Amino acid sequence: MRITNQREIILEELRRLKSHPTADELYEVVKKRLPRISIATVYRNLERLSEAGMIHKLEYGGRQKRFDGDVTPHCHVVCVKCGRVSDVETVPEVDAEHLVVDSRGYKIFDGVIQFEGLCPKCQLLEEKKIN
Ligand SMILES: [Zn+2]
Ligand SMILES: [Zn+2]
């Protein structure tokens, strides 16, 4: 894959952010360095980068796609209210192969475990609603 300067900057900014941004959120950041870039260009580059396996595309049922510059195997927790995505520390010795009890002959080499919950901000909002 040919790395254009734009694509390099998009990749660089995505890797720097730990927030798993949506394309729109990343666009706001990239725009500061590339004032003339369009949202369509950001979208296109994110698709290409994810096809090339250089970034991960996160799709959680019906929500806006998010992107992760960290392609090492790790788990996510998703806030069911605001859609915020955070990395989850996993137990190092538990790899995908050992998590699958009955893999019916498959050789497992990768897997995605997703947790759902409420982020600290939404928990506060919930508490306020109750009180
Ligand atoms: Zn939340
Ligand atoms: Zn992540």
Give the distance (Å) from ligand 1 centre to CA of residue 18: 16
pLDDT tens for each residue of 19-53: 999 999 999 999 999 999 999 999 999 999 999 99
Of 11 and 59, the one with more pLDDT? 11
What is the average pLDDT value for the chain, to the nearest integer?
A: 86
- What is the pLDDT confidence band of residue 129, given thresholds at 50, 70 and 90? confident
Between 27 and 89, the more confident residue is: 27
What separation in Å is there between the alpha carbon of 30 and the centre of ligand 2?
Answer: 19
CA of 123 to the centre of ligand 1 (A): 7
Which residues lie across from 58 on neighbouring strands?
A: 66
Q: Which CATH superfamily is domain 73-130 in?
A: Ferric-uptake regulator, C-terminal dimerisarion domain (3.30.1490.190)
C-alpha of residue 101 to centroid of ligand 1, in Å:
32
Instruction: State the virtual CA torsion across 89, 112, 68, 24 in degrees, nearest 10.
Output: -120
Residue 94 alpha carbon to ligand 1 centre in Å: 28
CATH 1.10.10.10 maps onto the chain at: 5-67
Q: Which fold has domain 5-67?
A: Arc Repressor Mutant, subunit A (1.10.10)
In the chain, residues under CATH classification 3.30.1490.190 are 73-130
